[in-house]
Amino acid sequence: SSALSRLTNLRRHFRPTDSNNNKGGSDGAGGGLIKISTEVSEALSHGRAVVALESTIISHGMPYPLNLGTAKEVEAIVRTNGAVPATIAILDGIPCVGLSVEELERLAILGTRAQKTARRDIAHVVAARGNGATTVSATMFFASMVGIPVFVTGGIGGVHRHGEQTMDVSSDLTELRRTPVAVISAGVKSILDIPRTLEYLETQGVCVAAYKTNEFPAFFTETSGCKVPCRVDSPEDCARLIDANTKLKLDTGILIAVPIPKEHSASGSIIECAIQGALKEAREKNITGNAETPFLLARVNELTGGASLASNIALVKNNAFVGARIAVALAQLRK
């Protein structure tokens, strides 16, 4: 299988630092530094379904202990639906693919003391032997490195409102351009400029598909008013899309947007009002760069009295359900 050949390639290119490491396959990518859990490593070498999960959502996206509970539940949903979860984070400078319960707990307790780690931060966190919670861009990087084609998250970063002036465009978008991983998300939060985010992805040549709808979802709500060029209606549709993308060697990621289930969607006007308030505060406090997204997420949650957090958790779980089934369909297709 291609997953197997990728792993074999990794082993050939990078010498493991510690071949007796019984905690998992020490695959040594990035100069002998990456650790793949035994469960994930075995699933990959047998061509079984694996779902990558990010960790910024745990450290910066939700408060403790809700973040830990949610992370555990998301992993359980992935398992129940036939795939192996591979949460990705950097612990003590070691990029880890597949976390133990203890490691998950450590990260959840660290919270924002873990460094938010996008692609640009990876080398620094590793060199400083720090603890890094990987964003979508960094998680895609490691997932691709070890051969995991499907990655589930809540929402991705995008072009910020006023991004045409500030140039605040998330590196998640450029990662989608360069890294062939399918990202399952509930779209893009309306703290961002959704039409410009879609324009940017079009320019970058990224396939954007919506699941069982023709419209790009806006995270808390099912609609954004923006149409998507590609509609998928089943896990099998998604698997064929991913497989075609791979076989054609397009080398770009795919964004599969799954709308939040109706019963959990938040009131669009309440959310928009909170977003306007949070954006105004961010400008007043001069919060920019990689601090902006965590600030806006936390403030929107406070301003909606926790309603947005409840929606957030519900949609992540739904994405895990859909993503696991996509990973299973893809593994089946590649048998």
Measure the CA–CA gap between 35 and 142, rounded to whole angstroms: 11
- Identify which of residues 50 and 176 has a Cβ nearer to Mn ion in the complex: 176
Q: Which one of Mn ion, ligand PSU, none is in contact with 54 (Cβ closer than 5 to 8 A by kind)?
A: ligand PSU
- Length of the chain measured in residues: 335
Contact residues for ligand PSU (CB under 6 A)? Answer: 54, 56-57, 61, 118, 135-136, 154-157, 170-172, 189, 219, 290, 293, 297
Task: Examine the residue annotation and report whether 39 is marked as an active-site residue of this protein.
Answer: no
- Identify which of residues 80 and 166 has a Cβ nearer to ligand PSU in the complex: 166
Contact by Cβ (8 Å): 41, 51: no
Q: Which one of Mn ion, ligand PSU, none is in contact with 136 (Cβ closer than 5 to 8 A by kind)?
A: ligand PSU
Tell me the sheet residues that pair with 255: 183, 208
Q: Which one of Mn ion, ligand PSU, none is in contact with 189 (Cβ closer than 5 to 8 A by kind)?
A: ligand PSU
- Identify which of residues 26 and 190 has a Cβ nearer to ligand PSU in the complex: 190
Q: Give least dist CB 266 to ligand PSU, A.
A: 13
- Identify which of residues 103 and 168 has a Cβ nearer to Mn ion in the complex: 168
Among candidate residues 35, 54, 116, 222, the one labeled active-site is 54
Q: Give least dist CB 292 to Mn ion, A.
A: 6
Specify the amino acid at residue 85: P
Q: Give least dist CB 137 to ligand PSU, A.
A: 6
* Residue located via tokens 């940017």: 200
Locate all alpha helices (DSSP H) within the chain, ordered by sequence: 2-13, 29-32, 38-45, 56-59, 66-80, 101-110, 122-127, 136-146, 163-166, 171-178, 194-203, 235-247, 268-284, 292-303, 307-333
- The structure tokens listed for 43 are 């699933």
- Identify which of residues 104 and 173 has a Cβ nearer to Mn ion in the complex: 173
Among candidate residues 189, 222, 292, 317, the one labeled active-site is 189
Q: What is the DSSP letter of 93?
A: T
Q: Give least dist CB 26 to ligand PSU, A.
A: 26
The CA distances from residue 275 to 85, 189, 190, 264, in Å, are 32, 10, 8, 18
Contact residues for Mn ion (CB under 5 A)? Answer: 168
Task: Examine the residue annotation and report whether 281 is marked as an active-site residue of this protein.
Answer: no
Q: Give least dist CB 116 to ligand PSU, A.
A: 7
Residue nearest to Mn ion as judged by C-beta position: 168
Specify the amino acid at residue 316: V
Tell me the sheet residues that pair with 185: 257
Contact by Cβ (8 Å): 313, 57: no
- Identify which of residues 95 and 155 has a Cβ nearer to ligand PSU in the complex: 155
- Quote the radius of gyration of the chain (alpha carbons, Å): 19
Q: Which one of Mn ion, ligand PSU, none is in contact with 179 (Cβ closer than 5 to 8 A by kind)?
A: none
Tell me the sheet residues that pair with 95: 90
Q: Which one of ligand PSU, Mn ion, none is in contact with 154 (Cβ closer than 5 to 8 A by kind)?
A: ligand PSU
Q: Which one of ligand PSU, Mn ion, none is in contact with 308 (Cβ closer than 5 to 8 A by kind)?
A: none
CB-neighbour burial class of residue 248 (10 A; exposed 0-12, middle 13-18, buried 19+): exposed
- The structure tokens listed for 272 are 């928009």
Residues designated catalytic: 54, 189
